Amino acid sequence: MLTYDQKYIVFDTETEGLNLHSSKPWQIAWIVCQGYKVIETHNRFLDFKDLEIPKIVQKLTGFSWDTYNKKKEDPETVLADFEEYLYDPQYKIIGQNLLGFDVYMIAELQRMFGRKRDFTYFDRIYDTRALGKAHREGLEKPKENFLSWQYKIINDRSLKSKVSQIQLLKYFGIDFEEEKLHDALYDIEMCYQIFCELKKAMNL
């Protein structure tokens, strides 16, 4: 069971598209949390010269070339800074659909820089999409094979509960600003509130 003073990182990426093998992430945001408090905030933009962001993605995420060009950094530096948290075993890792998307964006960055994809942090992941679906379907957290259980839930099409981030925010009665959703930093702040509700509801 998770202790009250457990530390977490909550992260999200924003990308050119949804291709797990070619879409480049242009934003990585992560927050460090303990209890119900956010104790660190990081919002980083990755500089890619050939970045191509479709108009629909720009509209959905609120992407601005002016903001991006002012804040963009060397992507390898951003990845290295993020990995200091990601591979630190003191942190549990939280996110919405991490196991279906974002972890592969991190792996793609590692590949781009000629490094081996490193998934050793996976056993510390709590995916709110998986947990939300389990909670709404009345499923209990297993005593073993937690990671495999989450993957099974994500990919089980017989489970029909709606568990997008906006649906989970509404389900738990969490106040949010819909127009801000799909910005990585705002999304993870909302995601952590969802996780706190799931933690209580599921006795995590």
What residue spans define the domains of the chain? Answer: 7-202
Q: Assign 52 to helix, strand or coil.
A: coil
5 CB burial (10 A radius; 0-12, 13-18, 19+): exposed
Radius of gyration of the chain (CA): 17
30 CB burial (10 A radius; 0-12, 13-18, 19+): buried
CATH of domain 7-202: 3.30.420.10
β 91-95/125-127 pair status: parallel
pLDDT in tens, the chain (204 residues): 899 999 999 999 988 867 667 688 999 999 999 999 999 999 999 999 988 888 888 887 788 899 999 999 999 999 999 999 999 999 999 999 999 999 999 999 999 999 999 999 999 999 999 999 999 999 989 989 999 999 999 999 999 999 999 999 999 999 999 888 888 899 999 999 999 999 999 999
